[in-house]
Amino acid sequence: MEKILYVKRLNKDKRINIKMEKEEKTTLKPDYIVGFSDGEGTFNLVKYPDGRIRPQFLVFNTNREILEKIKKTLELNCPIFEVVRIFDVIKRRKKCYRLQARSREDIDKVVAFFDKNLPIVKEKEYAIFRAAYDGWSFGKKGL
């Protein structure tokens, strides 16, 4: 995609066009995703009343674009939701977004990525998540 910049000359009001290639970084480096997930993400388990356990990977941020880039880099098909909290509405804070990977296909990709790029801060949390993933099957109860 081309981007045209307009530059105003100091001596006259003439404009010149400078064509520049717009470089969009659509994927992120693994270290960046690991650090971002350590700070803004969570590896958690959802336990259903019937005893089933489902692992899910969540990342929260006010910048939806960065969540979109994480989603694209990890090749996830999961949604990104706007999180609405009453306190934030009252205080007129920025909108918050949540990337929520829950499907088997997405969790497979998350595990493949974090097995190669282990979290630092959330190492124990990931180990529990990984153990649940190993025992995860549809209809299996508990870990």
pLDDT digit string (tens) for 93-122?
678 899 999 999 999 999 999 999 999 999
CATH of the domain at 116: 3.10.28.10
Q: What are the phi and psi torsion angles at 36 (to 5°)? A: -65, -45
Range of the structural domain that residue 127 is part of: 24-134
pLDDT category, 53, cuts 50, 70, 90?
Answer: confident
Residue 59 lies in a domain: yes
Residue 106 lies in a domain: yes
pLDDT at residue 51, as a whole number = 84
Residue 140 lies in a domain: no
pTM (2 d.p.)? 0.73
Classify burial at 103, counting beta carbons within 10 Å of its beta carbon; exposed 0-12, middle 13-18, buried 19 or more. Answer: middle
pLDDT at residue 117, as a whole number = 95
Instruction: Give the separation between CA 95 and CA 109, rounded to whole angstroms.
Output: 27
Residue 77 lies in a domain: yes
Q: Where are the beta strands (DSSP E) in 32-120?
A: 41-47, 53-61, 80-83, 96-101
Residue 141 lies in a domain: no
pLDDT at residue 94, as a whole number = 76
pLDDT digit string (tens) for 69-85?
999 999 999 999 998 76
If one counts the domains in the chain, the total is 1
Residue 31 lies in a domain: yes
pLDDT at residue 86, as a whole number = 65
Span 8-19, mean pLDDT? 49
